[in-house]
């Protein structure tokens, strides 16, 4: 196994041009594929999760011209269904561990023609999808489980997608609602969606609705309890669309600015960003960091940090960055309401607790929360990353805080940020 040893970093300062947002890249690709007209996306993320979506679209017959060196793609829209298989053969789509490919494609492929199998990495087979399938079946969707009930791999036989009223459980992942919303224009009738349970990760629904609007489809949002998509709407290409920088990726550099002196400026995410993870900067400010907001950039500077107690359900990905930043704050930090950390790339509550303890922190792991109490002297450890890009990225912050650290399997950052460690090194001295 590859290991990366990070020596203590004295000072961090500089400018970071963020790679494109994963959430926006994969949504925009799928919407462009279902649109009427040709769409050029700029600043598209080039990472494993996006490659899985791109490969799936290619297999489905969607034409595009992808120029990775320019981060630009032109997608020829199919004006409706992306399930247009001519042959009776089953088409298998391998989606790695990309939730933003698996969930939206599962919904979109239920309408149209063809027979599909959706599968992925072993961990993908442990990530629940039952709430989405339960919501789709009353619409006439033919989806079956191939192995474990409620989990991928799945078979889908595309056909007609009715409309009407459905319920969807949003208490584990917002991606299920995102998937149904994006497929809604493929329904024959109005679609009324009622939420069961407390919808988690709400800002991701805002991204979905904003992106659908850019492609010409209006979603009525009644206080995140009910959503309506009226029939007769179809996706229309906006022509050009620029993917903003990834706000979750920004979190590591903002934290680095706070821990390593700064100033660190992240370009591509700011006040005007569509992504809820921009609010990570508020959490960091609550810890004492100096944060400066601009429309499309954020600047972080160091200051003595203190522990916080915060519900982080709205920023589940960036919240991991708070957990390691907390090692350098005075007093404990409590990250609350993050149960679904357990069903992401790994069980992130368990993984975080185990690895933080290795470096000497006192950690309380609850069912849906974690409390990190820093210690006066940390120690070197080899951090297991569990094939979770965010474990690798947030534990690198130990070096910024002045504690050397070894990151096991650093290449797992390829899921969303293949050159993360180079970028961190660029601003370190
Ligand atoms: O819709 C999205 O783009 C995402 C939603 C979130 O998942 P949950 O809704 O499962 O929390 C987030 O963790 C994931 O990285 C991306
Ligand atoms: C949870 C994540 O990914 P996914 O889109 O696969 O759910 C993540 O990137 O932290």
Do residues 99 and 173 touch, judged by C-beta distance below 8 A? yes
Residue range 251-308, pLDDT digits in tens: 999 999 999 999 999 999 999 999 999 999 999 999 999 999 999 999 999 999 999 9
Ligand 2 atom closest to Cα of residue 97: 6
Q: What is the pTM of this model?
A: 0.99
Q: Is the pLDDT of residue 87 over 90?
A: no
Of the ligands numbered here, which is closest to the C-alpha atom of 414?
Answer: 2
The contacts of residue 145 (CB under 8 Å, 6+ apart) are 133, 151, 153, 154
pLDDT value at residue 340: 98
Measure the CA–CA gap between 94 and 52, rounded to whole angstroms. Answer: 7
Which string of DSSP letters, residue by residue, matches 166-228? EEEE-SS-THHHHHHHHHGGGSSS-EEEEEESPPPSTHHHHHHHHHHHHTT---EEETTTEEE
Average pLDDT of 311-328? 98
| Interval between CA 269 and ligand 2 midpoint (Å) | 19
- Look up residue 276 and give its two tokens: 């809820």
DSSP for residue 124: G
Protein residue whose Cα sits closest to atom 6 of ligand 2: 99
Measure the CA–CA gap between 159 and 157, rounded to whole angstroms. Answer: 7
Characterize 155-192 residue by residue with b for buried, 16 or more Cβ atoms within 10 angstroms of its Cβ, and e for exposed: bbbbeebebeebebbbbbbbbbbbbbbbbbbbbeeebb
SS3 track for 81-108 = CCEECCCCCEEEEECCCCHHHHHHHHHH
Q: Which residues line ligand 2 (CB under 6 A)?
A: 97-100, 317, 344-345, 390, 416
Q: Say yes or no: CB of residue 100 within 6 Å of ligand 1.
A: yes
Ligand 1 atom closest to Cα of residue 316: 13
Strand residue runs (E) in 95-150: 112-113, 115-119, 142-145
Do residues 185 and 235 touch, judged by C-beta distance below 8 A? yes
Respond yes or no: is residue 317 known to be catalytic. Answer: yes
Residue range 385-420, pLDDT digits in tens: 999 999 999 999 999 999 999 999 999 999 999 999
Do residues 45 and 249 touch, judged by C-beta distance below 8 A? no
| Interval between CA 84 and ligand 1 midpoint (Å) | 28
Q: Say yes or no: CB of residue 316 within 6 Å of ligand 1.
A: yes
Average pLDDT, the chain: 98
| Interval between CA 154 and ligand 2 midpoint (Å) | 19
Protein residue whose Cα sits closest to atom 3 of ligand 1: 23
In degrees to the nearest 10, what's the CA dihedral of 254, 256, 257, 258? Answer: 90
Measure the CA–CA gap between 107 and 176, rounded to whole angstroms. Answer: 9
**Residue 22 annotated as lining a ligand binding site:** yes
Q: Say yes or no: CB of residue 340 within 6 Å of ligand 1.
A: yes
Residue 129 CA from chain centroid, whole number = 16
Do residues 306 and 287 touch, judged by C-beta distance below 8 A? yes
Q: Is the pLDDT of residue 319 over 90?
A: yes
**Residue 119 pLDDT grade (very low, low, confident, very high; cuts 50, 70, 90):** very high
Which string of DSSP letters, residue by residue, matches 239-273? SEEEPPBPHHHHHHHHHHHHHHEEEEEEES-STT-
pLDDT value at residue 88: 87
Average pLDDT of 16-45? 98
Ligand 1 atom closest to Cα of residue 174: 9
Q: Is the pLDDT of residue 112 over 90?
A: yes
| Interval between CA 10 and ligand 1 midpoint (Å) | 34
| Interval between CA 102 and ligand 1 midpoint (Å) | 12
Q: Is the pLDDT of residue 199 over 90?
A: yes
**Residue 215 pLDDT grade (very low, low, confident, very high; cuts 50, 70, 90):** very high
Of the ligands numbered here, which is closest to the C-alpha atom of 21?
Answer: 1
Q: Say yes or no: CB of residue 110 within 6 Å of ligand 1.
A: no
Average pLDDT of 210-215? 98
């Amino acid at each position: 196994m590859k290991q990366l040893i990070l020596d203590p970093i004295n000072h961090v300062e500089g400018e970071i041009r963020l790679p494109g947002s994963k959430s926006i890249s994969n949504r925009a690709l799928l919407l462009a594929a279902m649109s009427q007209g040709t769409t050029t996306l700029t600043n598209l993320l080039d990472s494993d999760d996006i490659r899985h979506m791109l490969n799936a679209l290619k297999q489905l017959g969607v034409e595009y011209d992808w120029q990775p060196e320019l981060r630009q793609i032109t997608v020829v829209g199919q004006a409706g269904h992306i399930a247009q298989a001519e042959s009776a053969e089953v088409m298998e789509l391998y989606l790695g561990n990309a939730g933003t490919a698996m969930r939206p494609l599962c919904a979109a492929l239920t309408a149209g023609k063809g027979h599909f199998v959706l599968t992925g990495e072993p961990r993908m087979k442990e990530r629940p999808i039952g709430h989405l399938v339960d919501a789709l079946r009353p619409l006439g969707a033919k989806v079956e489980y191939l192995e474990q009930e409620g989990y991928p791999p799945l078979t889908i036989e595309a056909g007609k997608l009715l409309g009407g009223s459905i319920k969807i459980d949003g208490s584990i992942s917002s991606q299920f609602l995102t998937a149904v919303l994006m497929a809604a224009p493929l329904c024959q009738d109005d679609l009324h969606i009622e939420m069961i349970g407390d919808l988690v990760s709400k800002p991701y629904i805002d991204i979905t609705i904003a992106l659908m609007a850019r492609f010409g489809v209006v979603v009525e949002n009644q206080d995140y309890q009910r959503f309506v998509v009226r029939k007769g709407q179809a996706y229309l290409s906006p022509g050009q669309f620029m993917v903003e920088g990834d706000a979750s990726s920004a979190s590591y550099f903002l934290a680095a600015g706070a821990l390593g002196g700064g100033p660190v400026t992240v370009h591509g995410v700011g006040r005007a960003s569509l992504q809820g993870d921009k609010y990570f900067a508020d959490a960091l400010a609550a810890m004492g960091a100096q944060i400066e907001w601009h429309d499309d950039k954020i600047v972080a500077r160091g200051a003595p940090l203190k522990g916080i107690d915060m519900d982080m359900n709205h920023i589940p990905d960036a919240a991991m960055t708070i957990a390691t930043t907390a090692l350098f704050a005075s007093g404990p930090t409590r990250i609350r309401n993050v149960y679904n950390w357990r069903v992401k790339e790994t069980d992130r509550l368990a993984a975080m607790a185990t690895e933080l303890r290795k470096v000497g922190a006192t950690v309380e792991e609850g069912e849906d929360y974690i409390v990190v109490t820093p210690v006066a002297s940390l120690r070197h450890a080899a951090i297991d990353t569990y094939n979770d890009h965010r474990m690798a990225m947030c534990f690198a912050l130990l070096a910024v805080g002045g504690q050397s650290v070894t990151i096991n399997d650093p290449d797992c950052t390829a899921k969303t940020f293949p050159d993360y460690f180079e970028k961190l090194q660029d601003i370190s001295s």
